[in-house]
Structure 1
Amino acid sequence: MVLSALCLVLVIAAGAGVGLVLRDRGSTAPPDPAPTGAAGKSQASSAPSGKEQDANTVVVTDEEITALLKAHGAALTSGDAKAFTSIFDQENTTLVRDQARLFANLRKMPLSQMSYETLFRNGRTEDNFGRGVTFTQDVAFVHRFTGIDLKPVSEWYRWTIEKASADAPLVVTKVGGAPPSIRGGEGSKTVYYPGPWDIWPDVAVVKAGSSIVLARPEEAALARRIAPAVAQATSTDLDFWRRHGPPDAAVPIGFVVALAKGQSQLGNLFRKEKAHEAGVSIPMPSWGAGGDIRIGGSRIVLDTASSFFADTAGIKEVSQHEIAHSLVASLDSAEFSLFGKPNWIVEGFADYVATRHQRVAQVRRYQEGRAYLAGRLGRPFDGRLPDNVFWDDKNLINAHYFMGNLAMRFIAEKYGERKVAEGVAAAYKAKGGDGEAALFEALGVRKAEFEREWAAFVRRQLA
C-alpha cells in the first residue's frame, strides 16, 4: 500500500487512502481535503437576513439554504421519501429517480447520525431585475455508522440550484460530487464521493461480526460468503490491538467494507481517481472542530477481481491488511508532513498484522525480497529502510512492502509485539509529522543502530 500525506491546512484536513499493492503501482498523489470545521464560507453574494429588497429582486439567503438542508436531512431521518425528493426538479425524471434510489439505499445503512450541512457556494444568488438565479452549493452529507465511526464524517456533494422568481422555492437541478477546496497532483477529483448508495441500484448490507460488508446486488451472494472471513479478520486484528496496543488509544471496533470488481470500480468508491491497489483503506476526517480524534472513520474497498479473492486465506489476508490500516487511522495527528508518514511503518505494520502467523518464506512477497537482496531489481539492497521518495518504484514496490514487513518482524523479535503496537501508535500520533523519529524513540534506539541490526536480520531471513 501507499500512504500520501495526511495534512492539516487551516481548518482543512486531508485524508489519504492506503491500498494493498501486489504488482505494478503508479504514483500516489496527495489526498482529498475534507473539513474539520462546520461549514465553509460562501463564495457568492448572498443578501443578509432583514435587508430591504425591491419587490422584483430575486435573492437567496443563507437562512433559505440552511432551511432547505435541514428539511432535507429531516426527511431522510424520518423516512419521508416524498419530502426528500421534493426539492429536486420534478420535470427531470432521471434526477428524481436517482435521488429516490439514494434515499432507499441510505435508509438501509446502519447510520446513527445523518444531516446535510452547507459548504461553499459559487455563482449569482441575487438579481435586482426579477430574473431567476442559478448557482452551485456544495453540501456535506454528515453521517456516522453505528458502532463503527468514532466521530461523524462527511461526503461532499455539489448541487446546482435555481430560484426562478422572488417568491419561488429553491429547486435542485443537478447533483454530483464536490471537488476538494484545495487540490494538487493526481488525487481524487471529489471528496469521499461517490458512496455505494450514490451509484449502486441497490445495496446489500451484510453483517460481518462487528463490521459490515456492502455489495452490489450481483455480488450480494459473494458478500454473504466472505462475511465470515471479514468477521474473523476484524476479530483477529482487534485481538492483536487489545493485547498489545496502548490501552488509552481510541480505535474502532468495527469497519465498513465495500466490494468493487476491478480497478475501475475500486477507484470510483469514496473517491474518483485511478486505482492500482487490490484493496484500499480511506481515512475520513472528523466533522466538527476540536477533539483529539482527527480521523473519525474510514472506508475499506476490496477488489473482488484481485488474486486475493482466489481463496478464503487470501480474502482474510487482504481484509486483515486493510483493517489494520483502518484500526490505527483514528490515532493520526493529521499534521502536515511533506512526504507523509513513512510507508515502511504504515505498510509494514498492516502487512505484519496480516501475515504474522506465517513463516517468512510463506509471505507472498518473499521471492521479491530475495531478488532485492540479490541485486536483481535494479537497485541493490543497501541495508537502509525504504524511503517514501522511491517507494513506488515499479521494480521495487513489492520488495519495499516486504522490507516493511520484515522491519516489524524484527521489532517483534527483538523488542516484543507490544513495542510494535506502541511504536506504530507513536508514529501516527507524532507531532510535526516525524513518525519515524517517534517510533525509534518508543523503541529506545537510534535509527542507525536499528538499521544495522535490521539489515543483518533481513539477510538472515532471506539467506
Structure 2
Amino acid sequence: MTTGPGYQQQYPPQWQQPWQAPPPPPPPPKRRTGLWVTLGVVSLVLVVAVGAGVGLVIRSQRAGQQQAVGATPSGEPGTVVVTDQEIAQLVAGHSKALASGDVKAFTSIFDQKNAALVRQQTRVFTNLRKVPLAEVSYKTLQREGRAEDSFGRGVTFTQDIAFVHKFAGIDLRPVSEWYRWTLRKASANAPLVVTKVGGAPPPISDDEGSKTMYYPGPWDIWPDIAVVKAGASLVLARPQDAALARRVAPTVSRAARSALGYWQANGDSSAPVPSGFLVALTAGKAQLGGLFRQSKATEEGVTIPMPTWGGGGDPVKVGGSRIVLDTRSPFFATQAGILEVSTHEIAHALVAGLDSADFSLFGKANWIVEGFAEYVANRGRPITSNLRYQEGRAYLAGQLAVPFRGELPTNALWDFKGMVSINYLMGHLAMRHIAQEYGEEKLAAGVLAAYSAPGDSSEAALFKTLGTTKAAFERQWASYVREQLG
C-alpha cells in the first residue's frame, strides 16, 4: 500500500483464520500501498485523501520556500535581528559540511552547551555518511516566530528545513525530509544557533495522517545503520538486525527482479520506473509507524511515496519511495512470506513515479492500486494457494459483513466492517481477470493509464485502455470471481 504526505500503501495482517470474518481493524490511512491481509497489505500515510496528498504536498513545498522570509535590519540601536542572509549562510554551510564529510563544521551550528543535541547530530552525520546518497543539501522552508527584537532581547523562532537527498538508481528525482529547527540568537553580536531539532508537521494534516513530513529517517533515530546491498536495491537495518538484513537481502533482490521483470516484459519502456528500491526493517508496529512518518501503524509493511523536490514543472511528481517492513509480521516466518510482502511493496514503489499527483477527492481506485501489487506478488500461483482464498469463499457464501454483489470495491467503503482483506482479494482477482481476458500488456497499460489519469478518473482511464465499460467489465469479472472461488 502507499502512504505519506501524499498517500501510503500498506500490506494487511495475516493472523486471523481466513474463513472467518475478522474483527474490524483500526482504520488504516486513506490510500494504502502495501500488504494488509487478514493476511497482510501496504499504506501511504500523510496529508489528506489519496492522490490529493501528493499534489497538495508538492504545492505546499513550493509555497513554503516562498514564505521563508526573514527580518531585515531596522537600523534601530541595540536591535537583535536574524536576516535571510544569515539563515541562508547557516544552511549553506551545513549542506557543504555534510557533502564534504566535515563533522566539526556540521555540528558547529548546534548549541554547544547542549551536549545531548551535539551527540545526536554527530550520530546523524555519521549515519548519513554511511548511506550511499548521490545528492544532499538543506533548503529553507517556512518560518514561525519573531526574528527581530528592537529592545535588544534575544530572539527564538522555528525554521522548517528540507533535507533534500537522492539515492542513485532508487530515487527518480531528489526528495525531501522536513525538519523543524528551533533557532536562537541571544544578542545582537551572538551567533545564530540551533537549539532543538524535530520533524516539521505537514502543511495540511488530518487525524489519520502522519504528524511529520517523512521524518524521522533511520539516520535520525538509529544509533547506527547496517547498509546491505540487495542487487540494485538496499536494505537498511538497526545494528542488532544486521544479520537479519543480510539474510533478507537476497529475497528483496529476487522480489525486485520479479517486479521489474514483469514491467520490462509488459510495460511501457519509456515510463519512469526505478531500477532499485530502498527497504528498511523495523520490529513491531510502533517502529513501523515511526519511520519516515509518525503515525499509528496497523500494516505488515508500507510503501511511502515522496514528492519530487521543487518539481513544479517536472512530469515525475513522485520522486522516490521508502519501503518499511515489520520483521515481527507473520510474513517473516517463512522465505515465501518475506518474498510475498517484499514483492507487494516493491510493486507499489515500481509504479509510484507514474502517479499524476493531481488533486482528487477519493484518490486512485484502491482495487487497482492494491490489486496490481497483489497480482505482481502472487503471479504464477494458483488462487487456491492464496491466504485469502477461504475468506473469498466465505464472501461468496454471504458469511461476511457485506454480501458479494458482483461490484468492484469502492474507496468509500474500502475499510467498512473488516472488509479490507477481502477487498484486496477482489482487486487481485480483477487483475488476474484482466491478464487472462485482455493480456499482460493491456494490464500494464491499464495500470499506467490509471496512475497517469487526473483526479478521480483512474477507473475510467483503465477501462478506456481495455476498450470496455465498467458495467461490462463488472459482469465479466463477477462471473470470473464465482468461477475461481465457487
TM beyond 0.5: yes
* Residue matched to 1:376: 399
SS in 2 for 1:197: helix
* Residue matched to 1:9: none
Is 1:462 paired with 2:485? yes
Q: Which moved more, 1:363-372 or 1:320-329?
A: 363-372
Q: Deviations over 1:149-203 (max 9, x none)?
A: 0000000000000001112111100000000111123200000000000000000
* Residue matched to 1:195: 217
Deviation at 1:291, TM superposition (A): 1.0
* Residue matched to 1:428: 451
Find the partner of 1:80 among 75, 78, 102: 102
Aligned counterparts of 2:124 and 2:306: Cα–Cα separation in 1:
21
Aligned counterparts of 2:424 and 2:63: Cα–Cα separation in 1:
39
Is 1:263 paired with 2:299? no
Question: One-letter code of the match for 1:40?
Answer: G
Aligned counterparts of 1:206 and 1:184: Cα–Cα separation in 2:
35
* Residue matched to 2:10: 19
Q: 1:355 to 1:45 in 2, by over 3 A?
A: closer
Is 1:34 paired with 2:25? no
- Kept after mapping to 1: 8 A contact 2:177/2:214: yes
Question: One-letter code of the match for 2:468?
Answer: V
Aligned counterparts of 2:269 and 2:156: Cα–Cα separation in 1:
53
Aligned counterparts of 1:130 and 1:154: Cα–Cα separation in 2:
36
SS in 2 for 1:249: coil
* Residue matched to 1:442: 465
Aligned counterparts of 1:79 and 1:254: Cα–Cα separation in 2:
26
Give 5+ residue unaligned stretches, structure 1: 7-13
Greater relative contact order (CA < 8 Å, ≥ 6 in sequence): 2
Aligned counterparts of 1:44 and 1:423: Cα–Cα separation in 2:
41
* Residue matched to 2:51: none
Q: 1:460 to 1:222 in 2, by over 3 A?
A: same
Aligned counterparts of 1:41 and 1:254: Cα–Cα separation in 2:
30
Is 1:117 paired with 2:108? no
- Kept after mapping to 1: 8 A contact 2:28/2:297: no
Instruction: Tell me the TM-score normalised to structure 2 length.
Output: 0.90
Is 1:157 paired with 2:148? no
* Residue matched to 1:364: 387
Q: How does 1:260-409 map to 2 (within 5 A)?
A: 260-288=282-310, 289-409=312-432
- Kept after mapping to 1: 8 A contact 2:68/2:140: no
Q: Which moved more, 1:107-116 or 1:25-34?
A: 25-34
Total equivalences in the alignment: 452
Deviation at 1:25, TM superposition (A): 3.7
Deviation at 1:102, TM superposition (A): 0.3
Find the partner of 1:69 among 55, 77, 91: 91
Deviation at 1:367, TM superposition (A): 1.1
Aligned counterparts of 2:243 and 2:181: Cα–Cα separation in 1:
35
Deviation at 1:38, TM superposition (A): 4.8
Q: Deviations over 1:257-315 (max 9, x none)?
A: 00011111000000000001100000000001211000000000000000110111111
CA RMSD of aligned residues (A): 1.5
SS in 1 for 2:418: coil
Is 1:410 paired with 2:401? no
Deviation at 1:340, TM superposition (A): 1.2
Deviation at 1:29, TM superposition (A): 4.0
* Residue matched to 1:47: 71
Question: One-letter code of the match for 1:341?
Answer: K
- Kept after mapping to 2: 8 A contact 1:43/1:122: no
Aligned counterparts of 2:456 and 2:134: Cα–Cα separation in 1:
33
Deviation at 1:100, TM superposition (A): 0.2
* Residue matched to 2:272: 250
SS in 1 for 2:57: strand
Aligned counterparts of 2:423 and 2:66: Cα–Cα separation in 1:
45
Give 5+ residue unaligned stretches, structure 2: 15-23, 31-45, 48-55
- Kept after mapping to 1: 8 A contact 2:142/2:160: yes
Q: 1:189 to 1:145 in 2, by over 3 A?
A: same
Aligned counterparts of 2:219 and 2:63: Cα–Cα separation in 1:
23
* Residue matched to 2:18: none
Q: 1:41 to 1:292 in 2, by over 3 A?
A: closer
Q: 1:45 to 1:213 in 2, by over 3 A?
A: closer
Question: One-letter code of the match for 1:28?
Answer: P
* Residue matched to 1:10: none
Q: 1:45 to 1:454 in 2, by over 3 A?
A: closer
Question: One-letter code of the match for 1:20?
Answer: Y
Find the partner of 2:259 among 233, 237, 246: 237
Aligned counterparts of 1:297 and 1:42: Cα–Cα separation in 2:
24
Aligned counterparts of 2:360 and 2:63: Cα–Cα separation in 1:
25
Question: One-letter code of the match for 1:265?
Answer: Q
Aligned-residue identity in percent: 61
Instruction: Tell me the TM-score normalised to structure 1 length.
Output: 0.95
- Kept after mapping to 2: 8 A contact 1:25/1:277: no
Aligned counterparts of 1:26 and 1:375: Cα–Cα separation in 2:
23
Q: Deviations over 1:223-247 (max 9, x none)?
A: 0001000000001100000000112
Aligned counterparts of 1:389 and 1:197: Cα–Cα separation in 2:
37
